[in-house]
């Protein structure tokens, strides 16, 4: 049995999320079915993190155990061939030790949220970004974002369906920057609560629009109450950017 580490890119729009779901298609299901078609084995995919319906990935890490003798290149090519036309691509494939685990060996996760700040409708980026038509004050958003970094109780920014045992998380980085009409919000932590990134982005956008004062983000955090949340951003603009492992 060989353990292969996969780096995945996918468009989350057609899927109910990365993890298998009883009520619709998932990225995991598509890859496991492709692996079965290639190897005849009922292999399970394990990923560094979960994604909600409509959330995308630039560099999701995952692993799969295969008994059939295959080189990493042949497995990658075969999976990509079987995955077409689903919007999933295996960008890299490597052999790893049997004690390496995509989820449990991971020591950090990074997400990026893309906002297109313009009035004109989205064409090429429809479904790939959140369009905000009114001008955003990015400097105010960046200042407000810094009140969320560090160790906090993120109950306000946590979905009521979150399965994490504790709302305590350490947010290592939250940065907001503009590149033309695009506003990028980057978040890094060891792990995140369900909807945490989208909830933080929604509140920062309220600050950028002038509908919230900067200090209201800190007040929402301190409330430790989901009712204090101002806005939950849509999934369209959220991307799992990368997983971080010891030695990276």
Known catalytic residues?
52
User: How many helices (H) and strands (E) are present in the chain, helices listed first?
Assistant: 5, 10
CA distance 135 to 115: 11
Question: Which is it for the CA torsion 222, 223, 227, 230, positive or negative?
Answer: negative
DSSP code for 173 = E
Beta bridge partners of 182: 116, 179
Spatial CB neighbours of 180, under 8 Å, sequence gap ≥ 6: none
CA 12 to mean position of chain CA atoms: 10
Percent helix, strand and coil across the chain, each to the nearest 5? 25, 30, 40
CA distance 207 to 47: 34
DSSP code for 114 = E
**Beta carbons of 241 and 111 less than 8 angstroms apart:** yes
Phi and psi angles of residue 90, each rounded to the nearest 5 degrees, phi first? -90, 110
Structure tokens at 233: 């951003």
């Amino acid at each position: 049995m060989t353990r292969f580490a996969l780096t995945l890119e996918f468009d989350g729009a057609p899927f109910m999320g990365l993890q298998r779901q009883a009520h619709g298609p998932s990225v995991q299901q598509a890859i496991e079915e492709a692996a079965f078609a290639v190897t005849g084995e009922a292999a399970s995919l394990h990923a560094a993190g979960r994604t909600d319906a409509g959330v995308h990935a630039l560099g999701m890490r995952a692993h799969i155990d295969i008994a059939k003798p295959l080189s990493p290149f042949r497995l990658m090519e075969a999976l990509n061939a079987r995955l077409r036309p689903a919007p999933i691509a295996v960008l890299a494939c490597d052999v790893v030790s049997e004690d390496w685990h995509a989820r449990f060996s991971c020591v950090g996760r990074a997400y990026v949220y893309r906002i297109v700040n313009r009035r004109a409708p989205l064409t090429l980026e429809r479904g790939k970004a959140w369009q905000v038509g009114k001008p955003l004050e990015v400097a105010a958003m960046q200042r407000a974002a810094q009140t969320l970094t560090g160790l906090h109780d993120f109950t306000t920014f946590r979905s009521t369906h979150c399965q994490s045992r504790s709302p305590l998380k350490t947010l290592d980085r939250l940065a907001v920057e503009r590149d033309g009409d695009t506003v990028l919000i980057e978040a890094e932590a060891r792990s995140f609560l369900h909807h945490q990134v989208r909830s933080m982005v929604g509140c920062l956008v309220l600050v950028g629009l002038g509908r919230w004062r900067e200090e209201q983000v800190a007040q929402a955090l301190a409330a430790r109450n989901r009712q204090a949340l101002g806005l939950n951003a849509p999934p369209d603009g959220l991307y799992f950017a990368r997983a971080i492992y010891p030695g990276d």
